[in-house]
Structure 1
Amino acid sequence: MIRNPILPGFNPDPSIVRVGDDYYIATSTFEWYPGVQIHHSRDLVNWRLLTRPLTRASQLNMLGAPDSCGVWAPCLSHADGLFWLVYTDVKRYGRTSSGGAAGAASLRDFHNYLVTSPAIDGPWSDPVHLNSSGFDPSLFHDDDGRKYLLNQLWDHRPGGNRFAGIVAQEYSVAERRLTGRRENIFKGTAHGLTEGPHLYKRDGHYHLLTAEGGTGWNHGVTMARARHPHGPYELHPDQTILSSRHRPDAELQRAGHADLVDTRDGQTYMVYLCGRPLRNRGTCTLGRETAIQPVVWGEDGWLRTVDGRGTAEARAAAPKLPEHRFDPEPAREEFDAPRLPLAFQWLRTPWPEELFSLAARPGHLRLYGRESLGSLFRQALVARRQQAHCYSASTVVEFEPEHFQQQAGLVCYYGGAKFHYLYITHDETVGKHLRVMSSLPNHVQSDSFTAPVALPPGVPVQLRVDVDEERLYFGYRLDDGDWQWLAQQFDASILSDEANAPGQPNFTGAFVGMACQDMAGTALHADFDYFEYRERPYCVNPMGAPSAAEPA
């Protein structure tokens, strides 16, 4: 059996391709660098993160991109001996991170690009700019050798439908550009918010798969077909072929934004976006995740789920393929290698050497204090995805701040307006000390601080967070002493799409990691000796029983 989601934590907008006996899924990364996650499997059950192809400034530079902008909805395909990856780089969507007006909120900037590679792990080419008319680009390779780009069309004009339909245009490989007329091939249904197109050819029909209803609770997968890539398209008799919108009891919610793949023996599987809400708060702190399940083509030539009910399944039948497991990720990273461990990312910039170094002090991750937490430019924050509702994470930091504008520590982060930050700093009253800053959405006073806890100078400090669904606890210790837990219980449910920061899109997920700021501009560094992340079936309130939640 397949246990969904197959890609837990922030891994939305899946695009899947099979090449021989290998399966690859590309997912969105938004403002996190490098861009696009590509995952690998040989049995559709077991998956590993393999690579991130957008690694240099010529391919992706997101400095200044607002939260939840950057790389949207990549489409990965294989044809003519090459891997083809198209993606959107979103430069503007709505308002500023503080909720203040940034001009007309109807205006958007979406730039769609194409990169190619002979191998899945690169080298990937510099990008070809395709268009900027909307987002969610998808490249279809027809069996006659022609290629078509599809994408959502954005219409900023007043009184109309911003999600104006799915447009298609032919792509010329020789000229490396779109050619011919752009045509609106599908304007969507009454569910609205039509996006995420993918095109397939089967039995003389072109089948168009789209996402509708928005990426929240009303999300779903719509299907239509035509005899020509440009239509006209006939709507599926069931209209929506997969959704959780009428199943509030389903474990997997927000199901939509799908793609299809066939096994060698002709079984069809659908990958799709989903979310797992917290039981008590109903928010998806793990972000939008990726699930998979088999689907079947009926005698009428239409695609449906196996049982015909169109529901997202937490458990699904696996294909008859040999099991292929991968080695588990280490729970503890010692930062002994010259490269950052693959699970970790940073924000926006293609020049990470400005933010961190693994060579300046071997065996440590050195973060250089840069701009404030939440900056849209150079922010020294290195983090990994939260992939379970219950986990413990810890690190140790050596940091000797000289004043209050210098900070470093352990952060649970969604975006610039939603985080909990356990950090070390210094002031003229307490000296070196530890406290928590929380940025809380939907509060009049958005920033809150705990009382300072004095720390001795010149001593490494171990920092830890335990998360139990919506409950978040911070602790610290010196040397080999006992963990000292802060008295406050913090709200982990704000680290979610649904905890709205006014005026901003919310499309990512919770991360946990290390950060360092020097808002005086002197780049004081902090050294982190390790980072440990352990998932748990459940957590225990560490203040009641600190040893029960202790990492092994």
Structure 2
Amino acid sequence: MQITNPILPGFHPDPSILRVGDDFYIAVSTFEWFPGVQIYHSRDLLHWELLTYPLTRDSQLQMIGNINSGGVWASCLSYSDGVFYLLFTDVKSRKGAFKDTHNYVVTAEKITGPWSEPIYLNSSGFDPSLFHDEDGKKWMINMIWDHRKRKNSFAGIALQQISSEENKLVGPVWNIFSGTELGATEAPHLYKKDGYYYLMTAEGGTSYDHAVTMARAESITGPYQLDPGNPILTSDKSKRDELQKAGHGSLVETQSGEWYLAHLCARPVTDNKCILGRETGLQKCYWTDDGWLRVDGGPNPQWQVPGPDLEMAPVEGESNHDDFQEKELKRYWNALRQPFSEDWLSLKERDGYLRLKGGESLNSLHRQSLVARRLESFHLSAETAVDFQPETFQQMAGLIVYYDTDDYVYLRISQDEQLGKCLGILHTKHGIYDELLPEDIPLPEKVLSYLRVEIHRENLQFSYSLDQKTWKTIGPVVDISHLADDATELNSLRFTGTFVGMCCQDLSGRKHVADFHHFIYTEQDI
């Protein structure tokens, strides 16, 4: 069988891959989106399903007020002696010279939970990783952040022992690796093979210079010898139509002794903009006679990768047609910075509808009433129907395509003093607000409004209907290439991806409700 990359399309960065018995798992970062950390499952490395989220409670993850592209950074999933461990960073600030990066660990006896309350570890940097040594000792590593001018901000890889009895870091801190000339040394993972400790790191920054590098040592504290073939994985920047930004790797061995590297990658649509965000790819690897890891066909990532010697294990994903008849939301739905709770969302108050209670504005870093799912294709449509009867222009609800508080496109229903209930398009680009219609379109009262978006790479077109049969386009074709990770003159580098979903605002504070009848997400083969 052949594996086609990316194996997890759309916003699925910083993969941490793990095998336990015949089961493979990948944990990916979720940043400001709740629940925290997605864990995917496979039995053949080809077919993957979203299995669970370990961080589902306020007590585990408090992100109200977290900055855009803050929250849960690179997690590390590991397993030892019947227990799953998940280390993660909650990033509170990354503005200017400083980063407030708090590292925690949660545990569970089953991958599906229940997961424990978090134990605080340190705040010296981000990308924490846990290594279980053969002698029973457990070691945490993370990159060290240095805010000082004239210093290397990526100041090396810290190593410290974790006491299982005391549930805390103990003993001295070693800086075991200062990186290569590529710089921006982060995302450390430790492995042990044939008497060597192997340190895998990401370097070059998480954009187009991204790479995976290796070093090894006979002692866990070093000194570490650089792999003469570094980087072992990096993208060919001259071929922008191929997998780009390859880096941030994590290694797994199959039951039959085959080796695979899960890694971050991205696919630009235009002008080096990646609207889907940073994705997860998989490369087959081998070890050289002198004990270094190499990527098949590398160092550049391959679109098609030979699959492992395992039996095919297809999975049946959740339906992309959600009629909101179930007691809980489907697993692909996410919220911004807060858990799903009855104070802003309900599947019970009106049978067959998702009710959203109007929250704060789309600029808010606190309590938005927004439910969305990742874009996982360059060609798709999404449709919803909403029963919404606004009483003031401060009340809005509708269909949104969203990157963060600075960049979104919103087909929204509201109220106007002259027009009454009306439909219009709000557009924010790099934080600059705009309205894309010269005048909003009046809508009849007390009927369902059907809203649709079609996306083809960087081009977006909205339409609407009053009967779900006759559709009218609304507004211009919108260039959404600004809904992307990539830095601009106005935006620093960002780390998430584009979502599509439903939202409701009530800037008067009355929590006026919007009821959504369904949501249909359809990917197109073009």
Same fold by TM-score greater than 0.5: yes
2:338 is matched by which residue type in structure 1? Answer: T
Q: Structure 1's 499 and 432: CA in aligned 2 closer, same or farther, altered over 3 A?
A: farther
Instruction: Show the counterpart of 2:8.
Output: 7
Instruction: Show the counterpart of 1:299.
Output: 289
The answer to whether the aligner puts 1:285 opposite 2:272 as a matched pair is no
Match of 1:240, SS?
Answer: coil
Instruction: Show the counterpart of 1:449.
Output: 436
Identity of aligned residues (%): 50
User: How far apart are the structure 2 equivalents of 1:250 and 1:521?
Assistant: 47
User: How far apart are the structure 2 equivalents of 1:107 and 1:242?
Assistant: 29
Deviation (angstroms), 1:481: 4.1
Q: Structure 1's 486 and 503: CA in aligned 2 closer, same or farther, altered over 3 A?
A: closer
User: How far apart are the structure 2 equivalents of 1:501 and 1:18?
Assistant: 42
Q: Structure 1's 351 and 466: CA in aligned 2 closer, same or farther, altered over 3 A?
A: closer
Instruction: Show the counterpart of 2:465.
Output: 477
Deviation (angstroms), 1:502: 3.3
User: How far apart are the structure 2 equivalents of 1:214 and 1:272?
Assistant: 14
Please point out which of 434, 437, 440 is paired with 2:423: 434
Please point out which of 173, 177, 183 is paired with 2:168: 177
Q: Is the contact between residue 393 and residue 534 of structure 1 (CA under 8 Å) also seen in structure 2?
A: yes
Match of 1:534, SS?
Answer: strand
Deviation (angstroms), 1:353: 2.4
Matches within 5 A, 1:208-219: 208-219=199-210
Instruction: Show the counterpart of 2:235.
Output: 244
Instruction: Show the counterpart of 1:498.
Output: 486
Instruction: Show the counterpart of 1:41.
Output: 42
Please point out which of 265, 268, 272 is paired with 2:263: 272
Matches within 5 A, 1:459-538: 459-498=447-486, 500=488, 502=490, 504-538=492-526
Please point out which of 133, 141, 159 is paired with 1:168: 159
Deviation (angstroms), 1:457: 0.9
The answer to whether the aligner puts 1:145 opposite 2:146 as a matched pair is no
Deviation (angstroms), 1:187: 0.7
Instruction: Show the counterpart of 2:56.
Output: 55
Q: Can you give the 5+ residue segments of structure 1 that lack an aligned partner in the other structure?
A: 95-104, 539-552
User: How far apart are the structure 2 equivalents of 1:501 and 1:12?
Assistant: 24
2:176 is matched by which residue type in structure 1? Answer: I
Please point out which of 300, 325, 331 is paired with 1:342: 331
User: How far apart are the structure 2 equivalents of 1:337 and 1:176?
Assistant: 39
Provide, for residues 56-108 of structure 1, a one-character-per-residue CA deviation record: whole Å limited to 9, x for no partner: 111101000011000000100010110000000001111xxxxxxxxxx1111
User: How far apart are the structure 1 equivalents of 2:414 and 2:198?
Assistant: 58
Q: Is the contact between residue 441 and residue 499 of structure 1 (CA under 8 Å) also seen in structure 2?
A: no
Deviation (angstroms), 1:447: 3.0
Instruction: Show the counterpart of 2:189.
Output: 198
Q: Is the contact between residue 417 and residue 501 of structure 1 (CA under 8 Å) also seen in structure 2?
A: no
1:185 is matched by which residue type in structure 2? Answer: I
Please point out which of 110, 126, 131 is paired with 1:119: 110
Deviation (angstroms), 1:128: 0.7
Q: Is the contact between residue 117 and residue 125 of structure 1 (CA under 8 Å) also seen in structure 2?
A: yes
User: How far apart are the structure 1 equivalents of 2:475 and 2:140?
Assistant: 55
Please point out which of 101, 118, 141 is paired with 1:110: 101
Deviation (angstroms), 1:503: 5.3
User: How far apart are the structure 1 equivalents of 2:183 and 2:108?
Assistant: 35
Deviation (angstroms), 1:531: 0.3
Deviation (angstroms), 1:126: 0.6
Greater shift, 428-437 or 481-490, is seen at: 481-490
Q: Is the contact between residue 420 and residue 438 of structure 1 (CA under 8 Å) also seen in structure 2?
A: yes
Q: Is the contact between residue 219 and residue 245 of structure 1 (CA under 8 Å) also seen in structure 2?
A: no
Instruction: Show the counterpart of 2:25.
Output: 24
Alpha-carbon RMSD: 1.2
Deviation (angstroms), 1:499: 5.6
Runs of 4+ in 1 over 4 A off after TM superposition: none
User: How far apart are the structure 2 equivalents of 1:170 and 1:310?
Assistant: 33
Deviation (angstroms), 1:301: 0.3
Q: Structure 1's 174 and 501: CA in aligned 2 closer, same or farther, altered over 3 A?
A: farther
Greater shift, 502-511 or 133-142, is seen at: 502-511
Instruction: Show the counterpart of 1:362.
Output: 351
Please point out which of 375, 381, 384 is paired with 1:392: 381
Q: Structure 1's 340 and 292: CA in aligned 2 closer, same or farther, altered over 3 A?
A: same
Match of 1:354, SS?
Answer: coil
Provide, for residues 445-501 of structure 1, a one-character-per-residue CA deviation record: whole Å limited to 9, x for no partner: 443432301111111100000001111000000024410101411112111112648
Match of 2:227, SS?
Answer: strand
Instruction: Show the counterpart of 1:230.
Output: 221
Q: Is the contact between residue 441 and residue 501 of structure 1 (CA under 8 Å) also seen in structure 2?
A: no
1:310 is matched by which residue type in structure 2? Answer: P
User: How far apart are the structure 2 equivalents of 1:6 and 1:394?
Assistant: 26
Q: Can you give the 5+ residue segments of structure 2 that lack an aligned partner in the other structure?
A: none
Provide, for residues 495-531 of structure 1, a one-character-per-residue CA deviation record: whole Å limited to 9, x for no partner: 1112648355410000000000000000000000100
Instruction: Show the counterpart of 1:378.
Output: 367
Deviation (angstroms), 1:249: 4.3
Q: Is the contact between residue 9 and residue 287 of structure 1 (CA under 8 Å) also seen in structure 2?
A: yes
Q: Is the contact between residue 208 and residue 237 of structure 2 (CA under 8 Å) also seen in structure 1?
A: no
Q: Is the contact between residue 467 and residue 492 of structure 1 (CA under 8 Å) also seen in structure 2?
A: no
Q: Is the contact between residue 407 and residue 516 of structure 1 (CA under 8 Å) also seen in structure 2?
A: yes
Match of 1:463, SS?
Answer: strand
Q: Is the contact between residue 256 and residue 309 of structure 2 (CA under 8 Å) also seen in structure 1?
A: no
User: How far apart are the structure 1 equivalents of 2:21 and 2:15?
Assistant: 19
Q: Is the contact between residue 72 and residue 88 of structure 1 (CA under 8 Å) also seen in structure 2?
A: yes
Q: Is the contact between residue 486 and residue 493 of structure 2 (CA under 8 Å) also seen in structure 1?
A: no
Q: Is the contact between residue 500 and residue 506 of structure 1 (CA under 8 Å) also seen in structure 2?
A: no
User: How far apart are the structure 2 equivalents of 1:401 and 1:350?
Assistant: 26
Q: Is the contact between residue 436 and residue 475 of structure 2 (CA under 8 Å) also seen in structure 1?
A: no
Match of 1:493, SS?
Answer: coil
Match of 2:481, SS?
Answer: helix
Provide, for residues 381-404 of structure 1, a one-character-per-residue CA deviation record: whole Å limited to 9, x for no partner: 000000000000000000000111
Q: Is the contact between residue 418 and residue 441 of structure 1 (CA under 8 Å) also seen in structure 2?
A: yes
The answer to whether the aligner puts 1:425 opposite 2:414 as a matched pair is yes
1:373 is matched by which residue type in structure 2? Answer: L
Instruction: Show the counterpart of 1:135.
Output: 126
1:350 is matched by which residue type in structure 2? Answer: P
Deviation (angstroms), 1:250: 5.3
Q: Is the contact between residue 144 and residue 155 of structure 2 (CA under 8 Å) also seen in structure 1?
A: yes
Greater shift, 128-137 or 484-493, is seen at: 484-493
Q: Is the contact between residue 66 and residue 376 of structure 1 (CA under 8 Å) also seen in structure 2?
A: yes
Provide, for residues 412-436 of structure 1, a one-character-per-residue CA deviation record: whole Å limited to 9, x for no partner: 0000000000000001021110000
Deviation (angstroms), 1:151: 0.3
Q: Structure 1's 215 and 319: CA in aligned 2 closer, same or farther, altered over 3 A?
A: same
Greater shift, 245-254 or 141-150, is seen at: 245-254
